[in-house]
């Protein structure tokens, strides 16, 4: 509907602020128009007020897409809630689009539904370019046909009152609009803007305050849809960041001094963060000539006493596998972070998938048992790095951390970690090494051993990837090979013996158990909670340790009539041509769990290139319950 009819419509509706417990907002623009800054500031303001939030960046596929292009949308999605928010949710409630074309990329992504309130800059309706006017008009008609609630806002023309370069000002105006809609305290925001732009001088501060005020006032006068998402300020200090920043901070907090990498989306931003920050803890980021060199460099630093981290994504993991096997064989502590993206091959470089689990586990030559962790939240991204370094040193080998593009770019507040001295790596041991102790003094029970570090007198030895005995001497004897394989494998069992079974979300028994890993935690639990509220006997567990797996799984599974995984990777859909129970390829965690627990575990997995929203999981779970009811 046009602005005038929209205004009339709004005027008719109650002007009272509607209380909601969660809402999803998107801001999209051509890249370079500041939608991301605006979204970021809005999210920060909400988080500061105590709202739960989850933010995702909306990133165009190209670096500089043409303006007003369908594929060019850049911006943010912010889901805010009264309670902590664990995922990006389903369709948006409100979308602000700085031109009508970028909105189409969100429509294509399935981000809108009938009834979504859409704010579009109506300045385009008055463009000098007849073609733009025509496309705008056409889009408005289309949006109405799609039953969006369209509000045409004079964004650019209002901004022109305050700045000659509205491209740089619209974001503050839109921030005003959003703050008015969500009833945020104006004074607080003003302070925030003043602080943010203080360095750029009074004129800039004033301009931004004016733009903000204009957006706020225009909205109060013209828009009657107003919401409040009640929030309670946290009593403890909170931080908000994305998963890659959390990984980076985890690297610092763990006392890791060397981050060796080769650029690859979506992992690179971990090292972007560290490239500036790590220097201040005395470390550095090494950008190697390729991923093989990156892990080789890290292993070199680790061997020399400074457990290092290498950060990559699927294609880089493929290149690292030979060295990963070396780190297992020669027992070199090492942290390997894999921020998964869509595969196979170059696949979907910027999109989420959980397709590298089996590659991480099995891609090295021979039997190469290694520890694999999967954080499920942004907060865990931070803490797992600290755990990983410790495990790498205690268990003398590589520890992999699998995250994904969803955790990499998603932002979530969490309690500010209290840094601890014992999180840091100990200083390099240069004391004399007891010459009687060999470099691989495997404990016959646990396979654990302590390693000499170059510089330790008496500990001189030659590390090798060849089969070797306790002295690290090359040894091809079958008995030695059998024993050393056993020693390296035993370490995983020892670690498992120290782990707790996973907590069951919901009742300990029921009709259906859903298993997930990684970034799907929030979406799975949200879907499960909705069904549980309806009285369905469904529970879920979420695995953090993938190798070794947490203990007690089989016992948990036995209490459920049906067990399935939900994953963001490929599995053959049941009922597709040629797909039989024998030929069907299961999703990756399901494959592992089936072989590990001899339980008939089903799977439902998808590769949409985007996080699976709770609604899709819900729909699938409902379908399963319908089937169960029919069967009974």
Partner 1 sequence: MQGLRNEWEAEAPQRTCTLEDYQGAAPRWCPGCGDHAVLNAVQKLARDKQLPPEKTMVVSGIGCSSRFPHYMSTYGFHGLHGRAFPVACGVRSRRPDLHMFVVTGDGDCCAIGTAHWIHAIRYNMDFTVLLLDNNIYGLTKNQTSPTTHIGEKSNTHPRGNVLPPLNPLSVTLGITNASFVAQTVDWNPPHLFNTIRSAYEHKGTSFVRILQRCPHFTQHIFAEAQNDMSQCRLLLHEDGIPLDPQLQRLFPNRTAHNPNDLAAARRIASSEDAYPVGLLYRDPNAARYDLQTQAGLGRSQAEKMAATEKWLSRYEL
Residues between 229 and 248 with contacts to partner 1, criterion CB under 8 A: 237-241, 245
Q: Phi and psi (nearest 5°) for 541?
A: -130, 155
State yes or no: residue 249 binds partner 1 (CB under 8 A): yes
DSSP state of 140: H
CA distance 236 to 585: 47
State yes or no: residue 363 binds partner 1 (CB under 8 A): no
CA distance 175 to 171: 6
CA distance 212 to 193: 9
CB of residue 82 to partner 1, shortest distance in Å: 16
- Which C-beta is closer to partner 1: that of 171 or that of 456? 456
Spatial CA neighbour of 46 closest among 77, 79, 13, 19: 79
DSSP 291-334: HHHHHHHHHHHHHTT---EEEE-HHHHHHHHHHHHHHHHTT--E
* 105-124 positions binding partner 1, by CB under 8 A: none
- Which C-beta is closer to partner 1: that of 453 or that of 530? 453
CA distance 572 to 586: 7
User: What are the residues whose beta carbons fall under 8 Å from the beta carbon of 539, sequence distance 6 or more?
Assistant: 504, 505, 506, 507, 508, 509, 510, 512, 513, 514, 528, 532, 560
Beta bridge partners of 514: 540, 564
* 133-192 positions binding partner 1, by CB under 8 A: none
Task: Region of 570 please: left (phi>0), alpha (psi -120 to 50) or beta.
Answer: beta
State yes or no: residue 83 binds partner 1 (CB under 8 A): no
Query: Out of 13, 18, 346, 430, which residue is the one contacting partner 1 (CB under 8 A)?
Result: 430
CB of residue 331 to partner 1, shortest distance in Å: 13
State yes or no: residue 303 binds partner 1 (CB under 8 A): yes
State yes or no: residue 450 binds partner 1 (CB under 8 A): no
* 40-79 positions binding partner 1, by CB under 8 A: 44, 47-48
- Which C-beta is closer to partner 1: that of 327 or that of 376? 327
Structure token pair of residue 616:
């899709």
Q: Which residue has the tokens 């045409």?
A: 152
State yes or no: residue 264 binds partner 1 (CB under 8 A): no
CB of residue 330 to partner 1, shortest distance in Å: 8
CA distance 538 to 504: 10
| Region binding partner 1 by CB under 8 A among candidate stretches 426-434, 590-598, 599-607, 609-617 | 426-434
> What is the three-class DSSP state of 80?
strand
- Which C-beta is closer to partner 1: that of 110 or that of 415? 415
CA distance 481 to 622: 51
- Which C-beta is closer to partner 1: that of 335 or that of 568? 335
CA 254 remoteness from chain centre: 20
* 471-530 positions binding partner 1, by CB under 8 A: 473-474
Query: Out of 326, 384, 517, 586, which residue is the one contacting partner 1 (CB under 8 A)?
Result: 326
Q: Which residue has the tokens 């022109």?
A: 160
Q: In what order do the strands lie in the sheet with 510-517?
A: 538-543, 510-517, 560-567, 602-605
State yes or no: residue 392 binds partner 1 (CB under 8 A): no
- Which C-beta is closer to partner 1: that of 279 or that of 558? 279
The number of residues that bind partner 1 (CB under 8 A) is 71
Query: Out of 141, 457, 554, 561, which residue is the one contacting partner 1 (CB under 8 A)?
Result: 457
State yes or no: residue 286 binds partner 1 (CB under 8 A): yes
CA distance 180 to 174: 10
CB of residue 304 to partner 1, shortest distance in Å: 4
State yes or no: residue 255 binds partner 1 (CB under 8 A): yes
Query: Out of 288, 363, 485, 579, which residue is the one contacting partner 1 (CB under 8 A)?
Result: 288
| Region binding partner 1 by CB under 8 A among candidate stretches 86-94, 457-465, 545-553, 574-582 | 457-465
Q: Which helix (H) or strand (E) holds 414?
A: strand 411-415
- Which C-beta is closer to partner 1: that of 346 or that of 430? 430
- Which C-beta is closer to partner 1: that of 86 or that of 260? 260
């Amino acid at each position: 509907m046009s602005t005038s009819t929209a205004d009339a419509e709004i005027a008719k509706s109650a002007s009272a602020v509607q209380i909601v417990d969660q809402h999803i907002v998107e801001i999209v623009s051509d890249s370079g128009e500041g939608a991301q800054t605006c979204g970021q500031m809005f999210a920060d303001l909400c988080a500061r007020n105590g709202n739960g939030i989850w933010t995702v960046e909306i990133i165009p596929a190209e670096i500089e897409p043409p303006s007003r292009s369908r594929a060019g949308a850049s911006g943010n999605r912010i889901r805010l809630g009264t309670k902590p928010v664990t995922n990006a949710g389903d369709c948006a409630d409100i979308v602000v689009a700085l031109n009508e074309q970028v909105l189409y990329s969100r429509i294509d992504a399935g981000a809108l539904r009938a009834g979504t309130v859409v704010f579009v800059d109506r300045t385009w309706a008055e463009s000098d370019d007849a073609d733009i006017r025509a496309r705008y008009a056409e889009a408005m008609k289309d949006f109405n046909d799609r039953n969006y609630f369209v509000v045409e806002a004079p964004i650019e023309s209002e901004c022109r009152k305050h700045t000659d370069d509205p491209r740089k000002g619209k974001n503050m105006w839109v921030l005003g609009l959003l703050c008015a809609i969500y009833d945020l305290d104006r004074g607080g925001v003003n302070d925030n803007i003043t602080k943010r732009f203080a360095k750029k001088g009074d004129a800039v501060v004033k301009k931004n305050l004016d733009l903000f005020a204009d957006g706020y006032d225009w909205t109060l006068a013209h828009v009657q849809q107003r919401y409040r998402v009640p929030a309670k300020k946290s009593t403890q200090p909170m931080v908000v960041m994305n998963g890659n920043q959390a990984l980076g901070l985890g690297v610092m907090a763990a006392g890791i001094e060397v981050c060796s990498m080769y650029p690859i989306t979506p992992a690179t931003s971990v090292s972007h963060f560290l490239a500036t920050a790590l220097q201040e803890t005395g470390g550095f980021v090494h950008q190697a000539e390729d991923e093989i060199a990156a892990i080789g460099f890290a292993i070199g630093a680790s061997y020399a006493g400074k457990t290092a981290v290498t950060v990559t994504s699927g294609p880089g993991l493929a290149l690292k596998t030979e060295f990963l096997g070396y780190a297992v064989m020669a027992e070199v502590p090492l942290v390997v972070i894999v921020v998964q993206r869509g595969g196979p091959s170059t696949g979907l470089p910027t999109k989420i998938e959980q397709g590298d689990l089996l590659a991480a586990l099995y891609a090295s030559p021979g039997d190469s048992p290694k520890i694999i962790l999967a954080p499920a939240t942004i907060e865990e991204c931070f803490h797992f790095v600290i755990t990983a370094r410790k495990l790498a040193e205690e268990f003398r080998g590589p520890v992999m951390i699998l995250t994904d593009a969803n955790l990499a770019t998603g932002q979530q507040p969490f309690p500010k970690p209290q840094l601890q001295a014992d999180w840091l790596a100990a200083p390099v041991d240069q004391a004399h090494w007891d010459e009687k102790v060999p470099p691989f003094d495997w404990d016959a029970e646990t396979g654990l051993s302590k390693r000499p570090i170059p510089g330790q007198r008496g500990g001189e030895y030659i590390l090798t990837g060849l089969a070797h005995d306790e002295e690290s001497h090359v040894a091809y004897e079958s008995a030695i090979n059998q024993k050393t394989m056993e020693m390296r494998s035993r370490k995983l069992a020892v670690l498992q013996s120290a782990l707790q079974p996973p907590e069951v979300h919901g009742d300990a028994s029921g009709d259906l158990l859903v298993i997930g890993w990684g970034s799907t935690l929030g979406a799975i639990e949200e879907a499960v909670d909705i069904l549980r509220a309806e009285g369905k006997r469904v529970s879920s567990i979420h695995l953090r340790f993938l190798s070794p797996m947490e203990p007690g799984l089989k016992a948990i599974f036995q209490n459920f009539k049906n067990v399935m995984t939900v994953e963001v990777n490929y599995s053959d859909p049941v009922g597709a041509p040629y797909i039989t129970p024998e030929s069907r390829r299961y999703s990756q965690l399901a494959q592992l769990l089936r072989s590990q627990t001899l339980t008939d575990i089903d799977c439902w997995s998808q590769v949409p290139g985007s996080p699976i929203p709770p609604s899709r999981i819900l729909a699938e779970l409902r379908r399963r319950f319908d089937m169960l009811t029919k069967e009974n």
